[in-house]
Amino acid sequence: MRIFRKAMITTLAAAALLAAATPTFAQTQPKQQGLGVFVQGGYIQSSTYAENGVPTSEVSPKGGIIGVGFGGNKSGWFGVGVDLNYMFTSASDVTVLNIGEAIAENGTLKSQTLDIPVYGRINFGGQSTKNAPTFYVPIGWFFDIRLNADIDGTDVMDAFNGFSTGPMVGAGFEVYRIGVEARGMWAIKELQSTGGGTFLNGVQDSKAFTFVLLFKVRLH
């Protein structure tokens, strides 16, 4: 986990530098109005799939997401962005088995995650002003750090990997500083912790796909 903590600290520092540099850049380059700061929130739903790509129906967590976004370069055709998001989900009637400790928990699974997507944003139109309509496509990679997981108050963090990562792609529309965006995130790491318990009734290679619907407001 030390590597993951260092990666998170580095990402947070880079985001802070980008946010700090945005006003200065906008002043020195009047035409480059697209580097932005967003507040955002919305809805998420996850599903699981096995090694062969077949979806599994045992768990389908739903919840919300809130956060901030930096970058995007709306005044150009391409920009780079990074988000810092907090995600929270719940799923009912979930069973988590920990064979090593002979524990089986069943109930409502609640989870909280720090979500850090890093992406390129391809813009189509709307480069003249921040208020002009713009369609865009974000393509990148996400890094998720699980903050906690419990079933009806019982800690089950040991049954899950604490870190997840994978590709992300989406589509969005922005006008008058208001935007809506849909994203898909495919995890390439397994859900359950290696060498630990069994998750999803023995499907030990289960991975997660997460759909995100974001509503965004541009502050700068």
Instruction: Please state, in angstroms and rounded to a whole number, the distance separating the CA atoms of residues 174 and 147.
Output: 31
Element holding 147 (H helix, E strand): strand 134-151
Looking up tokens 């944003």, which residue turns up? 121
Taking the chain (220 residues) in runs of 10, the rounded mean pLDDT of each run is 46 47 39 73 88 60 96 88 96 72 76 96 82 93 95 84 93 94 92 56 70 94
What was the pLDDT predicted at 101?
A: 58
* SS3 (DSSP) at 219: coil
**Which tokens go with 58?**
């045992």
Q: How many domains does the chain have?
A: 1
Pairing type for strands 78-98 and 103-124 reads: antiparallel
What was the pLDDT predicted at 29?
A: 41
Could you tell me the CATH number of the domain that includes residue 70?
A: 2.40.160.20
Phi, psi of 153 (to 5 degrees): 90, -10
Helices (H) and strands (E) in the chain, counts: 1, 11
Choose among 60, 18, 67: nearest CA to 214.
67
Cα angle, residue 205 at apex, residues 202 and 210 outer, rounded to 5°: 110
Q: CB within 8 A of 188, min separation 6: which ones?
A: 165, 166, 167, 207
- Sign of CA pseudo-dihedral 109, 110, 115, 121: positive
Residue 113 burial by Cβ neighbours in a 10 Å radius (0-12, 13-18, 19+): buried
Query: What's this model's pTM, rounded to 2 decimal places?
Result: 0.77
What was the pLDDT predicted at 103?
A: 62
**Which tokens go with 67?**
């956060």
Domain span holding position 189: 2-218
Looking up tokens 């400790």, which residue turns up? 101
